[in-house]
């Protein structure tokens, strides 16, 4: 395991310990709105601060990009962090939330970790080193289409995209055995890498939501692209799956499968 993967793992656990400590202790006044249907708490901010301090103590010449406080530094190496993915779940007391930590080198993800604190599941991957869950190597599923279960996320910030999304959702519900929506994209991607879900698709995500998860899925033998089949995720649109399910999801998001 290289030193960057080790840093990612440790940083994710540090953030996760903050989330555990404050879980179900939030008051209404602790929740702030930062946009339409988009919320933040002091826990998000504290988790990011602790993660940032730890990472920069290990790699002081690296840049840091966090969801809450933005970017620090200017380096070819940039740590991209979501200190609490699934904030709405966290606010409601739903245990499905995570910390996501990824390192990009010249725009390519080379190390990443996702920690699901309430389940004590620590995922990590290094470029060319495979993907792991709690020390065990993982790989994407290879179930047939009629048994496959895919995950998704609703475009709650972009209601203008809802009709397009609902067409995709309908096609997915008809095509696959089931569709799930846990509410945290980092966890969705980790579960695809683990082989729990057969695939995942979502629209308008941010880099910190998906950076670590992309590497996990790819190192577990899966495919991650945008809706055009390219590796540019600036749109926030993503498909992640093993090869067969990826091909079906690609057709679904591009309107080639409607019923």
What are the binding residues?
67, 82, 84-85, 209
Tell me the C-alpha distance between 17 and 122, whole Å: 12
Beta bridge partners of 179: 150
**How far is 189 from 229, CA to CA, in rounded Å?**
17
Look-up of token digits 């620590």:
122
Q: Which of 112, 78, 254, 72 is nearest to 193 (CA)?
A: 112
Cβ-based burial of 62 (10 A; exposed 0-12, middle 13-18, buried ≥19): buried
Binding site listing for Mg(2+): 67, 82, 84-85, 209
Backbone angles phi, psi at 253, to 5 degrees: -70, -20
| Residue 145 φ/ψ, nearest 5 degrees | -55, -40
Q: Which residues pair with 242 in a beta bridge?
A: none
Biggest CA-to-CA distance, the chain: 53
């Amino acid at each position: 395991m290289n030193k960057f993967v080790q840093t990612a793992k440790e940083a994710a656990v540090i953030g996760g310990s903050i989330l555990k400590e404050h879980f179900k202790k939030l008051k209404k006044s602790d929740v702030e709105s930062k946009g339409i249907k988009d919320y933040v708490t002091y826990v998000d901010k504290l988790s990011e601060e602790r993660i940032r301090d730890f990472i920069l103590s290990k790699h002081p010449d690296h840049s840091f990009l966090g969801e809450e406080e933005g970017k620090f530094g200017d380096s070819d190496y940039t740590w991209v962090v979501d200190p609490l993915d699934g904030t709405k779940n966290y606010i409601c007391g739903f245990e499905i939330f995570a910390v996501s930590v990824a390192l990009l080198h010249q725009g390519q993800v080379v190390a990443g970790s996702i920690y699901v604190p309430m389940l004590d599941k620590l995922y990590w991957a290094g470029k060319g080193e495979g993907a792991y869950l709690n020390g065990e190597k993982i790989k994407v599923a290879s179930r047939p289409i009629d048994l496959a279960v895919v995950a998704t996320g609703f475009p709650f910030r972009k209601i203008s995209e809802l009709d397009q999304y609902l067409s995709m959702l309908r096609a997915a519900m008809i095509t696959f055995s089931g569709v799930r929506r846990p509410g945290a994209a980092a966890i969705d991607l980790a579960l695809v890498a683990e082989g729990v879900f057969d695939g995942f698709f979502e629209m308008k995500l941010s880099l910190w939501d998906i950076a670590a998860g992309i590497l996990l899925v790819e190192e577990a033998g899966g495919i991650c692209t945008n809706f055009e089949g390219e590796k540019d995720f600036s749109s926030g649109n993503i498909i992640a799956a093993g090869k067969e399910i990826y091909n079906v999801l690609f057709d679904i998001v591009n309107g080639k499968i409607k019923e």
